[in-house]
Structure formats: structure tokens, C-alpha cells
């Protein structure tokens, strides 16, 4: 599903502040695999996730997702890839605070050209999957941390992506909400999603559903 070969990311190239964030990373992720990218803050796991989501371009190396080279995709293709293949759950949720839950969840569908009716149908399905239907009309800024997280999950799922990427998903949650998140992730695993979570939270490490843990330190796989 995901093949990463000799991936390097250098920030501020040819500059005094040059920083080698990822060094020669190579690994594969199979379909429906649940992979943890584990490491301390600044180890490079979030950068790796951003590159897989095509939010960042690697300095060198290859990423092949579903037989598509995504390392050097032009903007139009990269955004289509993000929109169709990837569901990204951010550490800080990145919701539109003034919009309601259902409005936030619908945003990724707007450029797809779907009719409003179809959008509403998909939104309802995603809200149900993320267990946030009861808050559909609540404005995002009035949600608790856990609810915001579930809203972000629904938004990530709304386009029926095959891959779910989560960047420090429990960093802004209390233990109770972190456990609820894990329950949702377990359901997603059962439903056949491929899941990559970048985290330094030990709560994930003993999960039965986790297929593999990749430890990253100083930009390298250990």
C-alpha cells in the first residue's frame, strides 16, 4: 500500500540553519496494517507523516502509495491525492471554529463537485462512524477536546479514504477521551483502513490492534 524508499528531508538547504529531519527512511506499510511511528518530540515522525500526506515534499527518495509516485506531485494532483486517498487527523484538530461540526466535516467534499444531497449523506455516515452525530449542529469552538477530536476524525473519514494518518492524536486529550479515540481507531482498523499514527504516547504501545511499531530517532529508523 505504502512504499517508502531512501527518503530524506532537509530543511533550509544551502543555508546556515540547514536541518536534516529525515535520513534515508525506508519501510513499507501493507493494506489494513496499523503502524505506530514512535519517537520523542523532534525525532521526525510528524515530518514523515506530512510527507506521506503530500503536505511536504521530500528532498530525495521515493514514496509510492497505491502504485502512485507522490513524492513530486504537482499541487493539483497532490491535493486530489490528499482529498481522495488520505484522511489526516491533526494534533490540534485544525477545525473551523465558527462552523458547526457537520459544516466542518463537509469541507473536504466541497471541491469534489458532489451535489449537496450526496454531501449530506456522506457527512451523516462519517459523523456516525466517528460517534459525533449528537453534536452535528454544535459550533466547533463550543466542543470539548474529545468532541473536537471526533469531529476531526469524521472530517478525515468523510471522503472514504483508504489511509488514515494521525499526528499526535492524543496529545491534547485527557485519558478518558484518549481511550475513546482508541476505540474509534479500533473500529476503523476492523473496517479495513490502513492506519499510521505518529505518537510518543505509550497508551498505544500495548494495543492488540497495532501491527507494528517503527521507532524513529533523530530522523532515522532504529
Partner 1 sequence: MQNSFFNFLFLLLYKHHSKHIAVFIVSTLLVGLLASFMFLSSSIKHDALISLKEQPDFTIQKIRGGRSVDIPISLVDKFSDIKGVSYVAPRVFGRYYLPDRKHYFTIVGVDFFDEQLVTWINKLTKNIDIKTFLSKNQMIIGNGVKNYLKNHYYDSYFNFLTPTGKEKKVYIFDTLQKDTNLIANDIVLVDINLAREILGIQEDKATDIILNIPNPSERTNIKQKLLLINYDTRIITKDMLEKEYENLFNYKGGIFLLLFTITLITFMLILFQRYSMINNSDKKEIAILRAIGWSIKDVIKLKILETLSIAILAFLLGIVLAYLFVFYANAPLFRDIFIGFGNLQNSTTFTPVIDFGMLSSMFLFFIIPFIASVLIPVWKISITDANEALK
Give contact residues for partner 1 (rule: CB under 8 A).
Answer: 50, 53, 55-57, 75-76, 79-80, 82-84, 86, 88, 90, 92, 94-96, 98-99, 103, 106-111, 113-116, 119, 155, 159
- Output the CA torsion sign for 167, 37, 173, 152: positive
Considering the complex, state which of residue 153 and residue 210 has its C-beta at the smaller distance from partner 1: 153
| Partners of 2 in beta bridges | 29, 65
Strands 86-89 and 68-69: unpaired
Minimum CB distance to partner 1 smaller for 82 or for 150: 82
How near is the Cβ of 62 to partner 1 at its closest, in Å?
A: 19
Q: How far is the CB of 74 from partner 1 (least distance, A)?
A: 10
In the complex, the smallest distance separating the C-beta of residue 82 from partner 1, rounded to whole angstroms, is: 4
| Contact in structure between 11 and 73 (CB atoms under 8 Å) | no
Query: Which of 88, 193 has the CB closer to partner 1?
Result: 88
Residues 6+ apart with CB under 8 A from 188: 129, 157, 164, 195
Could you tell me which of 83, 221, 101, 103 has the C-alpha nearest to residue 161?
83
CB of 171 to partner 1, least distance (A): 14
The least distance separating partner 1 from the CB of residue 13, rounded to whole angstroms, comes to 14
The whole-angstrom separation of Cα 195 and Cα 164 is: 5
The rounded distance, in Å, linking the Cα atoms of 112 and 60 is: 31
Please list the residues that pair with 108 across neighbouring strands. Answer: none
Closest CB to partner 1 among residues 100, 182: 100
**128 vs 141 by CB, closer to partner 1:** 141
Amino acid at each position: 500500500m505504502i512504499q517508502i524508499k531512501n527518503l530524506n528531508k532537509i530543511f533550509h538547504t544551502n543555508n546556515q540553519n540547514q536541518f536534516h529531519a529525515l535520513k534515508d527512511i525506508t519501510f513499507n506499510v501493507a493494506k489494513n496494517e496499523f503502524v505506530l511511528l514512535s519517537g520523542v518530540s523532534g525525532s521526525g515522525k510528524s515530518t514523515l507523516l506530512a510527507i506521506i500526506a503530500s503536505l511536504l515534499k521530500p528532498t530525495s527518495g521515493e514514496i509510492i502509495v497505491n502504485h502512485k509516485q507522490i513524492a513530486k506531485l504537482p499541487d493539483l494532483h497532490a491535493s486530489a491525492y490528499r482529498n481522495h486517498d488520505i484522511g489526516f487527523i491533526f494534533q490540534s484538530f485544525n477545525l473551523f471554529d465558527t462552523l458547526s461540526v457537520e459544516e466542518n466535516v463537509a469541507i473536504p467534499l466541497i471541491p469534489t463537485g458532489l451535489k449537496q444531497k450526496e454531501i449530506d449523506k456522506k457527512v451523516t455516515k462519517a459523523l456516525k462512524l466517528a460517534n459525533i452525530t449528537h453534536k452535528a449542529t454544535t459550533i466547533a469552538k463550543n466542543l470539548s477536546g474529545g468532541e473536537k477530536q471526533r469531529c476531526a476524525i469524521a472530517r478525515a473519514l468523510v471522503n472514504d479514504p483508504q489511509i488514515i494518518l494521525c499526528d499526535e492524536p492524543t496529545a491534547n486529550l485527557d485519558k478518558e477521551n484518549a481511550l475513546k479515540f482508541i476505540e474509534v481507531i479500533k473500529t476503523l482498523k476492523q473496517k479495513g483502513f490502513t492506519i499510521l499514527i505518529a505518537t510518543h504516547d505509550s497508551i498505544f504501545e500495548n494495543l492488540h490492534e497495532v501491527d507494528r511499531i517503527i521507532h524513529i530517532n533523530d530522523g532515522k529508523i532504529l
